[in-house]
């Protein structure tokens, strides 16, 4: 039996195909763009292609993320909070808290032993501390979003970034550049600022070591390091981390499909 | 006879007012602050003096305000922009009871007494939501002149809602609307409404009272003015000098200082070396 999870985020849409035995068969990541319905379809098709599977073989599909109701081929919709918790506990057993930093929002989730959500807290009101914040910083410095984390790790003398607002941080960076500050020191300051905001969010749900870092920003190694320094404990991130919402959705799809197939049901 | 100057170094523009003893405005200047705030203040003062045809040396007292007030090397005193905007609004409209100052990076609501003194205030300088910088970015994204933004927004027949408060997230909404081929005026109307919502909320926090005066650079935007009036269900005082309110207030307070110092018998010199 094969199931799928589609996570339609504000910036990227992720698709994951999961075998009933827990193996991830295929995954895909496409930009969401303005046409959300099409992004969901493309992520699904792309995941099928990487797995070499045809769509009729997939028996249950769960949509998640802010655009989950735009997954027109989905059988059910589950919030991304539940999915991130589920996915993190599955791939990183022992997870107590999840930090999900996406393109436009940040969430702190306290997770139970079965991957259930005990508490959560989010910032979706403003771009501070989100992927958008990093994108703006990269843009001002003329760097690629994918490289700024590694650049920040070269810093020896991190600057203090005082602004919270993304718009104001752009001007702050420009003035640091005008003063001849090093790009890596500025970037380290930016990463540290996000780490500080993340910790504040984590504390609101009751932070405990055993942190799974998920969402698109978890690919950024500079961010992982900044968080570890700030928290004083290890942060778990892997190449699956950006797909955690979709993985969790696929796990829910597996449960639903098994439930439906159980004797005496359906 | 002496003159005073009010220098308001804002995050966007620097404003200077030269005032005579009888609270008469003799000359003003406005220029972009740029990165070197001190240079902007010096240049602003020179410009305003030229307009006023007043010799530098005859400026007896300089009050500096705005976020760059400590950068004004030639100041005699620095005063917060809240105090100055309150006085400036009162100078422009003596019946003012509430001041709404919308600058490039900061928005403030100030409740004032009959003399233009601050009773209560609230400000947002932590984020760009509701501030002029947000309008600048939207203007750039939509490729519209900042000066035409307000007027254009009022032509809207079908306003497009903007749900985000954050300037950065709202900008993405704007871009989404563009990609769905919504009309520029309809998008702009939504943007202006979202700012007005923020301003109205700030105003309520200090207690909305009868006469509201709008100050700061964004007061030049007719779209904000009209939508704010509709939102508050009352007329709002706006003068073409509204962006100068901080500098005007600083100049008025500089005059008061001079009078006080004179009454105390402090000897006032016309300063040397500034001619």
Please indicate whether, in this complex, the C-beta atoms of B35 and A175 are within 8 angstroms of each other. Answer: yes
For residues A167 and A84, membership in a common domain is answered with no
Are A125 and B179 an interchain contact pair (Cβ–Cβ within 8 Å)?
no
CATH assignment at residue A211: 3.30.420.40
pLDDT average, residue stretch B2-8:
94
Closest CA to B93 of B219, B231, B233: B219
Class of domain B94-238: alpha beta
Give the model's pLDDT for residue A124.
84
CB contact under 8 A, B128 and A168: yes
pLDDT at B261: 82
User: Above 60 in pLDDT, residue B113?
Assistant: yes
Q: Are residues A194 and A162 in the same domain?
A: yes
Strands B3-9 and A117-123: unpaired
Asked if residues B99 and B76 have their Cβ atoms less than 8 Å apart, the reply is no
Where does B3-84+245-263 sit in CATH, by number?
A: 3.30.420.40
Shortest Cα distance, chain B CAs vs residue A165, angstroms? 5
Find the closest chain A residue to B105 by CA distance: A168
| Segment B15-71, tens digit of pLDDT | 999 999 899 999 999 999 988 899 999 999 999 999 999 988 889 999 999 989 999
Between chains, do A127 and B35 touch, taking CB under 8 Å as contact?
no
Interval B267-274 mean pLDDT: 49
CB contact under 8 A, A127 and B129: no
Residue B273: pLDDT above 60?
Answer: no
Is the confidence at residue A215, as pLDDT, over 50?
A: yes
Mean pLDDT of B211-217: 95
Domain match, A225 and A169 both: yes
Q: What is the pLDDT of residues A154-173, one digit of tens each?
A: 999 999 998 889 999 998 99
Kindly report, as residue ranges, where domains of CATH 3.30.420.40 are found in chain B: 3-84+245-263, 94-238
Question: Residue B19: its pLDDT value, please?
Answer: 96
3-state SS class at A4: strand
- Taking the C-alpha atoms of residue B85 and residue B102, their distance in angstroms, rounded to an integer, is 10
For residue A36, report the phi and psi dihedrals to the nearest 5 degrees: -70, -40
Angle between helices A166-178 and B132-142 (to 10 degrees): 90
- H helices within chain A, ranges in order? 36-51, 80-91, 131-141, 148-152, 166-178, 183-205, 221-231, 244-261
Mean pLDDT of chain A: 94
- Alpha-carbon span B26 to A143, nearest angstrom: 49
Test mutation, B135, B136, B168, B179, chain A, max A CBs within 10 A? B168
List Cα–Cα distances, A172 to B18, B69, B168, in angstroms: 32, 18, 16
Residue A126 per-residue DSSP state: S
Domain of A12?
A: 1-92+242-266
For position B180, what pLDDT does the model report?
Answer: 85
Residue A87 shares a structural domain with residue A101: no
Same domain, A265 and A255: yes
pLDDT at A266: 45
Contacts of A256-259 with CB under 8 Å at 24 or more apart are: A256/A60, A256/A62, A256/A75, A256/A76, A257/A1, A257/A3, A257/A20, A257/A59, A257/A60, A258/A1, A258/A20
Write down the pLDDT at residue B267: 52
User: Do A189 and A101 reside in the same domain of the chain?
Assistant: yes
User: Do A36 and A148 share a domain, yes or no?
Assistant: no
Residue A99 has what DSSP assignment? Answer: E
Calpha distance B96→B112 (Å, rounded): 7
A152 with A211, same domain: the answer is: yes
Confidence bin at A209 (pLDDT 50/70/90)? very high
pLDDT at B161: 92
Please report the pLDDT score of residue A7 as a whole number: 97
Lowest-pLDDT range of A14-18, A209-213, A237-241, B263-267: B263-267
- Of A14-18, A239-243, B55-59, B268-272, the poorest mean pLDDT is in B268-272
Ramachandran category for residue B118: left, alpha or beta (phi over 0 → left; psi -120 to 50 → alpha): beta
Q: pLDDT value at position B4?
A: 95
pLDDT of residue A252: 97
Helix ranges restricted to H, A34-79: 36-51
Amino acid B266: pLDDT: 59
Share of chain B above pLDDT 70, in %: 95
Whether residue A133 sits in one domain with residue A2: no
Q: What's the domain count of chain A?
A: 2
Closest by Cβ to B127, choosing from A10, A132, A165: A165
In whole angstroms, give the CA distance from residue B90 to residue B95: 7
pLDDT at residue A127 in the model: 92
Check pLDDT > 80 for residue A177. yes
Preferred mutation among B166, B173, B198 to probe A, highest tally of A CBs within 10 A = B166
Q: Are residues A103 and A217 in the same domain?
A: yes
Residue A246 has pLDDT above 90, yes or no: yes
| Cβ contact, residue pair B134, A167, below 8 Å | yes
Structure-token match 């009729």, residue found: A56
In Å, how far is A181's CA from the nearest CA of chain B?
A: 15
Check CB contact under 8 Å for B165 and A136. no
Chain A residues with beta carbon closer than 8 angstroms to that of B12: none
Looking at the structure, tell me whether residues A177 and A72 fall in a common domain: no
State percent of chain A over pLDDT 90. 88
Whether B274 has a pLDDT exceeding 80, the answer reads: no
SS (H, E, C) B243-263: HHHHHHHHHHHHHHHHHHHHH
CB-CB neighbors (< 8 A) of A168 in chain B:
105, 127-128, 133
Q: Give B272's pLDDT tier (boundaries 50, 70, 90).
A: very low
Q: Which residues of A touch B168 (CB under 8 A)?
A: 126-127, 132, 136, 166-167
Beta-carbon-side half-sphere exposure of residue B151 (alpha carbons within 13 Å): 6
Quick: pLDDT tens for B152-194: 999 999 999 998 889 888 988 898 898 888 999 999 999 999 9
Interface test with B, best of A126, A134, A163, A197 (most B CBs within 10 A): A126
Residues A66 and A138 in one domain: no
CA B221/CA B128 separation, integer angstroms: 17
Task: Decide if pLDDT at A42 tops 80.
Answer: yes
Which residues have C-beta within 8 Å of that of residue A122, sequence separation ≥ 6?
A: A81, A105, A106, A107, A108, A201
What is the model's pLDDT at position B155?
95
Contacts of residue A191, defined as CB under 8 A and 6 or more positions apart, other chains included, come to A134, A149, A152, A220, A222, A223, A225, A226
DSSP secondary structure string, chain B? --EEEEEEE-SSEEEEEEEETTS-EEEEEEEE--S-HHHHHHHHHHHHHHHHT--GGGEEEEEEESTTGGG-TT-SEE--HHHHHHHHHHHH-TT--EEEEE-SS-EEEEEE-TTS-EEEEEEE-SS-TTSHHHHHHHHHHHT--GGGHHHHHTT-SSPPP----SHHHHHHHHHHHHHTT--HHHHHHHHHHHHHHHHHHHHHHH---S-EEEESGGGG-HHHHHHHHHHHTS-EE--TTGGGHHHHHHHHHHHHHHHHHHHTTPPPPPPSS--
| Dihedral sign computed on CA atoms, order A228, A230, A232, A235 | negative
Residues in chain B with CB shorter than 8 Å from the CB of A132 are 168-169
Q: Which residues of B touch A (CB under 8 A)?
A: 35, 105, 126-129, 133-134, 137, 164-169, 172, 176, 179-180
pLDDT tens profile A80-117: 999 999 999 999 999 999 999 999 999 999 999 999 99
Asked if A211 contacts A143 with a C-beta cutoff of 8 angstroms, the reply is no
Contact B176 A34 (CB under 8 A): yes
Contacts A10 to B, Cβ<8 Å = 172
């Amino acid at each position: 039996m094969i199931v799928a999870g589609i996570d339609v985020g504000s910036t990227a849409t992720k698709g994951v195909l999961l075998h009933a035995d827990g193996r991830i068969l295929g995954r895909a990541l496409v930009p969401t763009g303005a046409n959300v319905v099409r992004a969901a379809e493309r992520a699904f098709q792309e995941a099928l292609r990487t797995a070499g599977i045809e769509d009729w073989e997939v028996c249950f599909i769960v949509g998640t993320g802010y655009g989950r109701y735009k997954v027109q081929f989905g059988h059910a919709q589950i919030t991304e909070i539940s999915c991130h918790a589920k996915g993190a506990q599955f791939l990183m057993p022992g997870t107590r808290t999840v930090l999900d930093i996406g393109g436009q929002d940040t969430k702190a989730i306290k997770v139970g032993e079965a991957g259930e959500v005990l508490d959560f807290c989010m910032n979706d009101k403003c771009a501070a501390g989100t992927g958008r914040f990093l994108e703006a910083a990269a843009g001002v410095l003329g760097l690629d979003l994918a490289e700024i984390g590694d650049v920040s790790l070269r810093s020896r003398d991190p600057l203090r970034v005082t602004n919270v607002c993304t718009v104001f941080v752009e001007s702050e960076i420009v003035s640091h550049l005008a003063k001849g500050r090093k790009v890596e020191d500025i970037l380290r300051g930016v990463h540290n600022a996000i780490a500080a905001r993340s910790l504040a969010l984590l504390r609101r749900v009751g932070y405990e070591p055993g942190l799974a870092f998920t969402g698109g920003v978890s690919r950024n190694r500079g961010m992982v390091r900044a968080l570890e320094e700030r928290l004083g404990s290890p942060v778990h991130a892997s190449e699956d981390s950006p797909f955690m919402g979709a993985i969790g959705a696929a796990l829910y799809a597996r449960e639903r499909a098994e439930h439906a197939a159980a004797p005496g049901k359906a | 006879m002496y003159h005073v100057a009010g220098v308001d170094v804002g995050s966007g523009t620097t404003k200077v007012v030269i005032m005579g003893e009888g609270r008469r405005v003799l000359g003003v200047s406005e220029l972009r602050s740029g990165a070197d705030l001190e240079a902007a203040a010096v240049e602003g003062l020179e410009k305003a003096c030229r307009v006023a045809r007043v010799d530098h040396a005859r400026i007896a007292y300089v009050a500096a305000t705005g976020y760059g007030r400590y950068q004004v090397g030639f100041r005699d005193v620095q005063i917060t922009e809240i105090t100055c905007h309150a006085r400036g609004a009162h100078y422009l409209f003596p019946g003012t009871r509430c001041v709404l100052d919308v600058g490039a990076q900061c928005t403030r609501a100030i409740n004032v007494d009959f003399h233009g003194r601050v009773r209560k205030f609230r400000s947002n300088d932590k984020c760009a939501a509701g501030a002029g910088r947000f309008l600048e970015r939207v203007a750039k994204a939509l490729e519209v002149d900042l000066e035409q933004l307000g007027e254009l927004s009022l032509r809207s027949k079908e306003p497009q809602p903007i749900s985000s408060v954050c300037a950065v997230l709202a900008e993405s909404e704007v871009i989404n609307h563009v990609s769905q081929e919504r009309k520029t005026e309809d998008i702009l109307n939504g943007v202006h409404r979202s700012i007005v919502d923020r301003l109205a909320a700030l105003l309520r926090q200090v207690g909305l009272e009868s006469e509201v005066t709008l100050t700061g650079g964004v007061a030049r935007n007719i779209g904000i003015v009209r939508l704010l009036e509709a939102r508050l269900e009352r007329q709002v005082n706006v003068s073409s000098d509204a962006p100068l309110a901080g500098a005007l207030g600083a100049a008025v307070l500089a005059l008061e200082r001079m009078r006080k110092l004179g009454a105390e018998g402090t000897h006032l010199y016309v300063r040397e070396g500034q001619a």
